[in-house]
Amino acid sequence: MVSVTDAGMVRTHNEDSVGTLPEQGIAILADGMGGYNAGEVASGIAVSLISAELSQALAQRDPAAIDPESGRPLAEIMLRDEIRRANASVYQAAQSQPQYAGMGTTLVVTLFFDNRVAIGHIGDSRTYRLRGEQLTQITKDHSLLQEQIDSGMISREEARRSCHKNLVTRALGIDPEVEPEIHVHDVQSEDIYLLCSDGLNDMVEDEEIRLTLLALRSNLPLAAHQLVQMANDNGGRDNVSVILIRVKHEFPVRRRGLLRLLSKLKK
């Protein structure tokens, strides 16, 4: 598990935040928005709170256990609870301090457990999965462009040329309550998961991302830096952040190996 974040070639400061807890299978990426430095505050609050609270929750609850009310894995409930708490904290900070008024952040969080991964997201930060040679976007943007694509108003190619790329329809911290989108996916050995802010996918085509991951899948630190460099070489109009995770082996519950589910990458 490796992370890189960069201000890009145009912005004077970086409003993205990233956090990883490899031993617990947690990765978090947030892309802040707001007035001067407010976006950085929003994303920082979200990442720090969720990483701390989710880590604590994992010490007390088994994410693979089934919630009796919903019949879903507790991992989903835990993600939803912690994202909602972070939303409340960012919202309250924005309401109580004028310099932070209107701040918010996108968010994507992964929690690996029992040969599965629970992914919660809000906004247009993404998760991709490379399985074999196929790269798949497994989150769906909460954005105006995505709604226009879904309705057939524009094509994906037209969306890439749009000047409305940054209009999200859902963000953390803007309203008193927010509903994160959460899904659980099966995980296979040698899967590679990419979390990224839109500073990457707006600047680098999915096919270029795929080819980079294929070429450097045995060296994820280099792959992460290469992806950021590609975004900057193509203009770097936004902050760009990536987290890369390679699943080295299976991690079923029976092994009680949740705290060792992701081996450290060789440097």
Q: What is the pLDDT of residue 260?
A: 44
Q: Which residue in 103, 78, 105 sits closest to 92, CA to CA?
A: 103
The pLDDT tens digits for 52-75 are 999 999 999 999 999 998 899 999
Which residues of the chain are under the pLDDT cut of 70? 35-36, 157-165, 254-267
Residues in the chain: 267
Q: What is the pLDDT of residue 158?
A: 65
The pLDDT tens digits for 136-189 are 999 999 987 777 777 777 777 666 666 666 788 999 999 999 999 999 999 999
Residue 261 lies in a domain: no
Q: Which residue in 166, 172, 148, 167 sits closest to 158, CA to CA?
A: 148
Inter-axis angle of helices 220-233 and 206-215, nearest 10: 150
Contacts of residue 214, Cβ cutoff 8 Å, sequence gap at least 6? 130, 133
Residue 12 lies in a domain: yes
Q: What is the pLDDT of residue 261?
A: 46
Residue 259 lies in a domain: no
Q: Is 152 left (phi over 0), alpha (psi -120 to 50) or beta?
A: left
Range of the domain at 246: 2-252
Residue 266 lies in a domain: no
Give dist(CA 62, CA 189) in Å, integer: 22
Farthest CA pair distance, the chain = 51
Give dist(CA 1, CA 250) in Å, integer: 15
Q: Look up the CATH number of the domain holding residue 53.
A: 3.60.40.10
Give dist(CA 246, CA 82) in Å, integer: 25
Q: What is the pLDDT of residue 36?
A: 66
Q: What is the pLDDT of residue 37?
A: 75
What are φ and ψ of residue 87, in 5° steps? -60, -45
Q: Which residue in 145, 139, 147 sits closest to 118, CA to CA?
A: 139
Residue 267 lies in a domain: no
Q: Answer whether 8's CB lies under 8 Å from 238's CB.
A: yes
Q: What is the pLDDT of residue 204?
A: 97
Residue 258 lies in a domain: no
Q: Answer whether 194's CB lies under 8 Å from 242's CB.
A: yes
Residue 188 lies in a domain: yes
Residue 257 lies in a domain: no
Total number of domains constituting the chain: 1
Q: What is the pLDDT of residue 163?
A: 61
Contacts of residue 252, Cβ cutoff 8 Å, sequence gap at least 6? 114, 115
What are φ and ψ of residue 4, in 5° steps? -140, 135
Q: What is the pLDDT of residue 258?
A: 41
Give dist(CA 220, CA 134) in Å, integer: 17
